[in-house]
Amino acid sequence: MPLSIFGFRALWSPWFLLIVILGIALYLFLATKMRHRFEGTESLTRKQLVSFILSMILLYIVKGSPVDLLGHILFTMHMVQMALLLLLVAPLLIIGIPNWMWKKVFDVKMLNRVISIFTKPIISVIVFVGMFSIYHIPIILDNVKLSAPLHTGFTVTLFLAAMLFWWPVLNTLKGQPQLHGLKKIGYIILSAILITPACSLIIFVDVPVYETYQSGESWLKAMALCVPAGTLAGLSGLGMSGPEMFTNMATLTDQQLGGILMKVIQEIIYVVVLGSIFIKWYKEEQDNAEEITKKALSDLEEQRLAMQQH
């Protein structure tokens, strides 16, 4: 069956699109027209603007476009959603928000205390990987997908955990936890190692483990999270029995492919991040070495001149 049977609202989430557009408008208003009303502000850079707009576009694609509907039909698409949301949207959002805006967040003492704890590198990586792994335990994922409040709450919490994970790597705000050079590389590699068991269990299990991605009542209940109740009720007479009506892929194949794609996308993103970190670290080391060499030569020249004077 074509996805169009679910209707425009389910496919394109116009209300969510409106929220995204309003979010972009508010960001631009604060970063340009209202900036002069705050102390210590700086002009919005092109990098920040592009990063924020990209994060919002990706957010809509992941949670508002037909990709979100497909994420309830195919486990493969669900894992692609998770990879893009946690590994691209989160870091782009951190980069896109200027430091003076972040500072206003940290001026709230309670938030500052909580965030300062959960952005400590070891804690942040454990919380992020732990949340991701727990979310994909079959009984947890199935129950989350059957409840709109649980689904929203868990998704938002997992996204915040991703923000906390990326914070020590990407933030440039004074006084906040920051990793430098080889420590960043070690941090990213550690997270890649820790997330591997969760992906491996999904890839190598030999039976379908998620009820909400199989035929039956659970799948129809899960679809209610992204399809209006009236539309879903109207379609029930068509005899919809499960995701197999929209794909020829076997449930087990879909499940295993989802785990593979999550790991592949994660590795690609991590390789790009590690490459940029290494290049930046190498340039800094080269600059430091040149400075040391220049200082040493300057000292030798001063000593030579001093000896000539004597």
- Which pLDDT tens digit goes with each residue over 200-254? 999 999 999 999 998 778 888 888 888 887 777 777 666 666 788 888 899 999 9
Structure tokens at 286: 């080269």
Structure tokens at 309: 């004077």
**What is the C-alpha to C-alpha distance for residues 178 and 176, in angstroms, rounded to an integer?**
6
| Cβ atoms of residues 177 and 120 within 8 Å | yes
How many CB atoms neighbour CB 110 within 10 A? 7
**What is the C-alpha to C-alpha distance for residues 91 and 271, in angstroms, rounded to an integer?**
15
Where do runs of H (alpha helix) occur along the chain? 8-12, 14-28, 46-63, 66-73, 75-84, 90-96, 99-106, 109-118, 121-135, 138-144, 148-170, 182-204, 217-223, 229-235, 251-309
Q: For position 45, what pLDDT does the model report?
A: 94
User: Which residue numbers in the chain have pLDDT < 70?
Assistant: 236-241, 289-290, 294, 296-297, 299, 301, 304, 309-310
pTM of the model as a whole? 0.90
Q: For position 280, what pLDDT does the model report?
A: 84
| Cβ atoms of residues 202 and 256 within 8 Å | yes
**First and final CA of the chain: distance in angstroms?**
95
**What is the C-alpha to C-alpha distance for residues 216 and 222, in angstroms, rounded to an integer?**
10
Task: DSSP letter for 137, please.
Answer: S
Q: For position 240, what pLDDT does the model report?
A: 67
Give φ, ψ of 26 to 5 degrees. Answer: -65, -40
